[in-house]
Amino acid sequence: MAGSGRGVNPAVEIHMGKRAKPAAAGEQKVEAVERALAILDAFHEDSNTLSLGELAERTGLYRSTILRLHASLERFGYLHRGTDGRFRLGPSLLRLGVLYQNAFNLADYVRPVLATLVEETGETAAFYIREADKRICLYRHHAPRLLRHHIEEGTALPLERGAGGRVLLAFTDARGPVYDDIRRDGFYISYGERDAETAAIASPVFGRDRFLGALSIAGSRARFDAAKCKKMTKILLGKAQALSKAVGAA
């Protein structure tokens, strides 16, 4: 049944960069782009600075190749190497992230809902969208707690682990009993699927004639007992339905 998270083993996500794939003959320029993107993709929320050796390990690229590509990436503001020799993402990515958010025109509708969810539940609220095989935290509002679920906007997470990902899968044609239940019930509760200490509840948001994303609240698993989950689920469903209506759903 949706909401139980039953049958899913608790797991902690391990972020690893993807090794660059060899380009076909005659695609040297494409290969260079893919290598540069592999370098940027090696950075994650839990590893926002990397040494040259760490970049080489995560991307499968030679150190000399990384240094050569770094010169171009730094010139365009996508990568920076500090005096400590460690690499960091550059400011151009923030500019693109803002443009990416603005393209959706959802912020004015979603952010007030997230703030209200935090106020009414006491837990961190977020809005996720699907991009290929990942879920992206497009917007979030952190709870005013010392112990809370912490995630930044723009973070990429797995689709198959966590309430937000399950809802995104359910409403983008995933098959199976779990997703049938989510489509029927309109929500999913996960316990320790992505992080063993975290629980979350998510519900779909629709626009005019299309599915937009997943509205979610998440926090310490210890606070998500049966009674509180029932109360928070009711709140979340109401907010998701109101947000859907506000952005054009019938």
CATH fold of the domain at 97-246: Beta-Lactamase (3.30.450)
pLDDT of residue 29: 60
* Residue type, position 127, single letter: F
Residue ranges per structural domain of the chain? 28-89, 97-246
**CATH class, 28-89 region:** mainly alpha
Helix 107-121 to helix 92-104 angle, to the nearest 10 degrees?
A: 90
pLDDT of residue 7: 33
Cα-to-chain-centroid distance, residue 49: 19
pLDDT of residue 200: 95
Q: Which three-class secondary structure string do you get for the chain?
A: CCCCCCCCCCCCCCCCCCCCCCCCCCCHHHHHHHHHHHHHHCCECCECEECHHHHHHHHCCCHHHHHHHHHHHHHCCCEEECCCCCEEECCHHHHHHHHHHHHHCCHHHHHHHHHHHHHHHCCEEEEEEEECCEEEEEEEECCCCCCCCCCCCCCEEECCCCHHHHHHHHCCCCCCHHHHHHHHHCCEEEECCCCCCEEEEEEEEEECCEEEEEEEEEEEHHHCCHHHHHHHHHHHHHHHHHHHHHCECC
| Dist. CA 73–CA 38, nearest whole Å | 12
pLDDT of residue 230: 96
- Torsions phi, psi for 41 (to 5 deg): -70, -10
pLDDT of residue 240: 97
Per-residue pLDDT of the chain (250 residues; tens, 9 = 90+): 444 443 332 222 222 333 444 444 444 467 899 999 999 999 987 788 999 999 999 999 999 999 999 999 999 999 999 999 999 999 998 888 778 767 657 788 999 999 999 999 999 999 999 998 899 999 999 988 665 556 778 888 889 889 999 999 999 989 999 999 999 999 999 998 888 889 999 999 999 889 999 999 999 999 999 999 999 999 999 999 999 999 888 6
- Which residues does 159 contact at the CB level (< 8 Å), separation at least 6? 130, 133, 134, 135, 165, 168, 169
Instruction: Let me know the angle formed at the C-alpha of 138 by 126 and 234, rounded to the nearest 5 degrees.
Output: 25
Cα-to-chain-centroid distance, residue 178: 21
